[in-house]
Structures are given as structure tokens and as C-alpha cells.
Amino acid sequence: MGHIIHTELETIQKRLLNSDQTSVQLGTELHAVTSAGKPVYTWLARGCIRKCLEVSADNAYLTVSGLEEILLISDPAYTYEGDNNVLIQQTSKWLLKLWTSALQGKTIQFPLSTANFLSETDEILKQRFSVTCFANFTAIRSVHCYAHYTTFISDIVAYYRWLTCYLLKLTYDKQVSLRKQESSTFFVNNSNQVYFSKSLATVYFLHYVVQTANEVISCVTDYSSKEVLLKLLSLFGVWNLRKYAHYFYQGNYTNDPNFGHYIEEAILALCRSLTDDAISLIDAILPDDCLLNSVLGHSDGKVHERLESVLSQTYGTYAKFQWKDDIHGCVSKL
């Protein structure tokens, strides 16, 4: 998904730079999207790296695992070129401005259509969860029919729209109430950040990813590639949605416990259905990945044999340590 969005944003940026006419609307919208995109993607990558560290256990901390290198490259990215927590506020501030316009009944119309749905906030917030079984939730009757995934993804987009409208209303109301207590804008913004505006900007960006990737994938003509890409997008959509499931209960979208259960079941079912494609996907997306070329990622799966081989071929592994003579004769005080 990151690759699709990166290509998409790059194309838009080139269009903007090559255009004779400056499009203020496009520039503003692009700024809002990218200000959330960098934090959301680097935070997602951080979660992914931490998961790799966990599953690799002790081996993760060996230089030959390749994870050390990934950690070194990724860690500063949460801060440089705009600290994530500061940067994402640009997006939430823009969304709050749009909300004021939406409350005044103005139409929200921007070239990338990332927030145009805010014009229909009233109708969106009236929606309620009405699905009665898991099969209807995913809309997937056959894992080999991409039309079903398309329906599921449209539903996921609708969930994100409701969530964005709900969080925008919540953040706006919180800001109004904070302003009554505090004159400092800095304090108001800080107090609104963690549970309101940060979640809002994140959800807005995730909606953009699912909506845009769906449009791009719908143009893919190769049937089997399309099916796998739709599965991946569905997984990306529901897996991220799960982190915000509580808002659907807080906001009265549903009081049915199945909503949360269905999301989790869908994640597991999609993971199972993608297992057979995992290796080909990795080969297609990142063949020169440093993790795959490491001892742990090698395709033969013989981790211990490869570790032994690296150790035995590394100069000094079996040598006596140089400071051995310095401690000769020392008696332990324990």
C-alpha cells in the first residue's frame, strides 16, 4: 500500500510542479495528506519492526539478522523532517477548518477527494451497523472472486468515513470546550492531541490509503494479481480499523459485540488466505530486502545451520580473547 500511495503522491506532486497555474486547493490538500502520511507510515513501520524483533527473539539482536540495520535507519525517521507528533497536527488543524465550513453547510470540494465526503456528514453519522453474520460482514462468499473483495473494501471505506466524521465532531467539540477553560491556543492544541486530533488525522489518512489503493487496483487487468492485491488491501483496511473499534461503540454506531469479533475474524481469515502468496508477494515487492538476504530470512529456512556457518566462517570466533591474561588468577568476590 505504501508503494501505491508513494507513486500516487509523486505523480500529483509532479503535476503540481509542472502546472502553469498554481492550484492552491491541490497544494493545501497534498500538504494535509503528506503531513499525516509520513507519521502514519513511519509508525506502522515501527510496529512492523518491533514485531520482527519479537518473532526473531534472541536472534534479532545478532548483526547477521539484518534487523539492527533496519532499526538504525528507521528510528530517526519518527523525528527528522518534522517530528511525527508535531507534523500530524497540520492535518488535524486543516480538518478542523473544513469542519467549520461543513457546519455552515458549505460544500467541501478538493481535487484529491480525500475529504469531500465531509459534505455528507449528517447522513454519514446517522449510519448504523446492520450486518447480522460474518459472511455478510466480509461479503466474501468465495476467496477466489475479486468482486466480493471489492464490496468488502467499499464497506471498509464507509467505516472509515463514519469514523473520520465522528472523530472530527469529537475533536471539534473538545476544542470548543477547552477554549472556554483556557486562553492559550498551545494548551488547547496539546490537550486535544493524544486521544482526539492524532486519531482523527490518522484515520483520515488511512481512509485516503484504502480509497486510493482501491481505485488503483481496480485498473489492474491481470486477474490473479488483482485478487491478491485486493486481499492485501482488505487486510490493511480491517487490521488498522481494529485499533479504532472502540469509537464505533462510543459513537453509537453499534452496540453489537459481533462488530469487533467480525473484524478480528476477518483479519485471521485474510491472513490464512494470503499464506500461499506470501513468498511471491515478497519477491514481487522487495527482492533485494536486507532481511531476506540475512541468515534468518533465507528461503531454505535452516536458521541454525546458517547461523553456525556464519559463526564458523567469522574471523576470531574461536580465538582466545585478548584480555584473558589480564584476569588470570583473579578470584571471584561473589
Ligand X SMILES: Cc1cc2nc3c(=O)[nH]c(=O)nc-3n(C[C@H](O)[C@H](O)[C@H](O)COP(=O)(O)OP(=O)(O)OC[C@H]3O[C@@H](n4cnc5c(N)ncnc54)[C@H](O)[C@@H]3O)c2cc1C
Q: Choose the stretch contacting ligand X; rule: CB under 6 A; options: 8-16, 82-90, 103-111, 167-175.
A: 82-90
> CB 77 → ligand X: shortest distance, Å?
8
174-203 positions binding ligand X, by CB under 6 A: 190, 193
> CB 130 → ligand X: shortest distance, Å?
38
DSSP letter, residue 213: H
Question: Rounded to the nearest 10 degrees, how much is the dihedral formed by the CA atoms of 328, 331, 332, 333?
Answer: -140
> CB 195 → ligand X: shortest distance, Å?
12
C-alpha span between 152 and 199 (Å, rounded): 23
By CB under 6 A, residue 73 contacts ligand X: no
The H or E element that residue 49 is part of is: helix 24-56
Q: Choose the stretch contacting ligand X; rule: CB under 6 A; options: 74-82, 133-141, 265-273, 279-287.
A: 74-82
What are the φ/ψ torsions at residue 297 (nearest 5 degrees)?
-95, 0
The H or E element that residue 28 is part of is: helix 24-56
- Interior CA angle at 91 toward 90 and 93, to 5°? 70
Q: Choose the stretch contacting ligand X; rule: CB under 6 A; options: 44-52, 79-87, 176-184, 239-247.
A: 79-87
Query: Which ranges in 57-111 belong to alpha helices (H)?
Result: 67-74, 84-103
Taking CB under 6 A as the criterion, the residue among 11, 25, 69, 76 binding ligand X is 76
Q: Which three cell numbers stand for residue 111?
A: 481535487
C-alpha span between 161 and 125 (Å, rounded): 9
> CB 193 → ligand X: shortest distance, Å?
5
> CB 37 → ligand X: shortest distance, Å?
16
Closest residue to ligand X using C-beta atoms = 85
> CB 186 → ligand X: shortest distance, Å?
7
Identity of the residue, 90 or 150, whose beta carbon is nearer to ligand X in the bound complex: 90
Residues that bind ligand X in the complex, under the rule CB under 6 A: 76, 79-83, 85-86, 190, 193
